[in-house]
Amino acid sequence: MPHPFLLLRSIPVRSVAVFSVLASSLLLAGCAAVVPLTPAPDATNVACADVIVHLPSSVADEAARETNAQATGAWGDPAAVLLHCGVTVPEPTTLPCLNINGIDWIEDDSDAPTYRYTTYGRNPAIEIVIDSERVSGSTTLIDVSNAVGYVPATGACVGAEDLDLPTDGATSAP
């Protein structure tokens, strides 16, 4: 039997180079770290499963990443968009409410440039945290709207213009 070194010498150099590139590519593809997240309190809600299986493979041109927690999603490397399904359903608030593709979102900019958007009028609620220096909030919300739509709306945001308030400044007595 020939020496192993002699066997390697009989393999064309080009084949070895191609094999090395392919092996390196496979190793690098598996090196993307899992995004560590904590599941939301209601992450086991069946409706969250519908949302998660319909999440897009990219959001705001950022590729999806693997997460380690139930009912979560992440996009970008490093992650620029994080999603949690099953967060606490928000109470009425004075924070701005946006309607994007039929989904009402409460916008919290208290940690700008990181923005937190939470669905309003849906149970379970879904929260999306966005690094606005890397991605567009409106593009992100548009990209996830199909998946979020799997949680039916049970309410909607209202503003002062939607309420029937007295216009003369008088209040009615009980």
Walk along the chain (174 residues) and give the pLDDT tens digit of each residue. Answer: 555 444 444 445 444 333 333 333 333 344 569 999 999 999 999 999 999 999 999 999 999 999 999 999 999 999 999 999 999 999 999 999 999 999 999 999 999 999 999 999 999 999 999 999 999 999 999 999 999 999 999 999 987 666 666 666 555 555
Q: Which residue has the tokens 């008088």?
A: 170
Residue 104 contacts residue 145 (beta carbons within 8 Å): no
Q: What is the 3-class SS of 61-84, one letter each residue?
A: CEEEECECCCCEEEECCCCCEEEE
CA distances from 82 to 3, 16, 137 (A): 55, 41, 12
Residue 115 amino acid letter: Y
pLDDT at 16: 37
Q: Are strands 114-119 and 125-131 parallel, antiparallel or unpaired?
A: antiparallel
From residue 107, give the alpha-carbon distance in Å to each of 98, 117, 118: 7, 5, 7
pLDDT at residue number 171:
54
What are phi and psi for residue 45, nearest 5 degrees? -60, 130
pLDDT at 80: 98
Q: By C-alpha distance, which of 109, 74, 71, 108 is closest to 90?
A: 108
- Give the CA distances from residue 87 to residues 38, 92, 169, in Å, rounded to whole numbers and listed in that order: 11, 15, 38
